[in-house]
Amino acid sequence: MSRFQVVSGKGGTGKSTVAAALALALATEGKRTLLVEVEGRQGIAQLFETESLPYEERKIAVAPGGGEVYALAIDPELALLDYLQMFYKLGGAGRALKKLGAIDFATTVAPGLRDVLLTGKACEAVRRKDKRGRFAYDHVVMDAPPTGRITRFLNVNDEVAGLAKIGPIHNQAQAVMRVLKSPETAVHLVTLLEEMPVQETADGIGELRAARLPVGRIIVNMVRPELLDDDALDLVRGHGHGKVPRTAIAKSLSAAGLGGARKGGNAQKLVDPLLAQAGEYAERHALEQAQRAVLMDLGLPLRELPLLTEGMDLAGLYRLAKELRKQGVQGVS
């Protein structure tokens, strides 16, 4: 099972929610999971209904079975100070540079430096061990940048290693890439059953594979429930045997307390709007099935999470985590 789980997806697909649910799902039977945020949005704090995260690893949830979820919002400036201290013993000098604004300048202007620091800090958490030689975390889950830039984000250390041929920067970049391109890592892509997210997912998978980064699973989020069976769908589309039983529908509506079944009655008036809604559902269902077929052709395992009609809150997050466990946590790793 991969220890470093990277979750990406087109904006609006709920990738942060999926990353949080995955962290909860993996923190079972006493395991420890670290959920890492790299985009500075404090999305993790909002999902877990807690205060904004500082630049430190903080426990934010307990999973069923006693597992623990920790979270870390990586600040590029502070990560650079860590880097300067770790490799150059410049702790005091680094703080002085920060006061002068040099650290902010470097992380804003230097090409790729910000991504180097973010990926490096996450990979350090993956490799870290305690005094007894055990990994500090059983799993690290990263709420990563969107699909459109995930490959460049993860592959930036390859470019750095090529530019810096020797020295600690070269060695650090190579160490990060060894983690990112190893079986320890899996990059999951979150999508919806809609054309644009599915196309971006397909493009992202192609880019990840070209960069030889390990693609994990496709996670389809916000899947609507099945309301009509195949026979009903065929009937609505006009492919079934016979005509739509309008009178029978009116009688069923009447039995449900929605008006009389006589001609012109309230129930009879509801039949046309109801059939129109059914037609819209059948059309959307066909489009979703077509997009599901596109995803299946990409050759990766598919996992699906339901649309929570009541909205997303902490209880909903635990429900999605339970759904991931039910589908098999090993199946999303």
Closest CA to 193 of 271, 44, 302: 302
Query: Helix, strand or coil for residue 44?
Result: helix
Co-location of 244 and 209 in the same domain: no
Phi/psi of residue 219, nearest 5 degrees: -115, 110
Q: Do 194 and 208 reside in the same domain of the chain? A: yes
Residue 25: CB partners within 8 Å, gap ≥ 6?
A: 63, 321, 322, 324, 325, 329, 332
Predicted local confidence at residue 79, as pLDDT: 76
pLDDT the model gives residue 137: 97
Q: Are residues 84 and 101 in the same domain?
A: yes
* Token pair recorded at residue 162: 């090529």
In the chain, the number of structural domains is 2
3-state SS, one letter per residue, for 298-313: CCCCEEEEECCCCCCC
Domain that holds residue 234: 230-285
The per-residue pLDDT for 21 is 96
What is the model's pLDDT at position 193?
Answer: 97
- Using an 8 Å Cβ cutoff, are 218 and 302 in contact? yes
Q: How far is 154 from 118, CA to CA, in rounded Å?
A: 10
CA distances from 150 to 8, 158, 191, 333 (A): 7, 14, 14, 18
Q: What pLDDT score was predicted for residue 41? A: 85
Whether 301 maps to a domain, the answer reads: no
Q: In 3-state terms, what secondary structure has residue 58?
A: strand
What's the pTM value of the predicted model, to 2 decimals?
Answer: 0.84
Q: Residue 265: inside a domain, yes or no?
A: yes
Same domain, 193 and 208: yes
183 within domain boundaries: yes
Residue 241: the pLDDT is 55
CATH number at residue 102: 3.40.50.300
Strands 139-143 and 185-191: what pairing?
unpaired
- Angstrom CA distances, 137 to 175, 212, 330, stand at 18, 25, 17
Q: Are residues 248 and 212 in the same domain?
A: no
> Distances in Å between the alpha carbon of 26 and those of 37, 61, 256, 298, 317?
17, 12, 44, 25, 13
- Report whether 261 contacts 250 (CB < 8 A): yes
- 40 and 97 within one domain: yes
Can you list the residues of the chain whose pLDDT is less than 70? 1, 83-111, 160-169, 235, 238-244, 247-249, 259-265, 329-333
**Cα-based distances in Å from 218 to 139, 174, 193, 294, 319:** 19, 28, 11, 12, 19
Residue 280 lies in a domain: yes
Res 294: pLDDT: 97
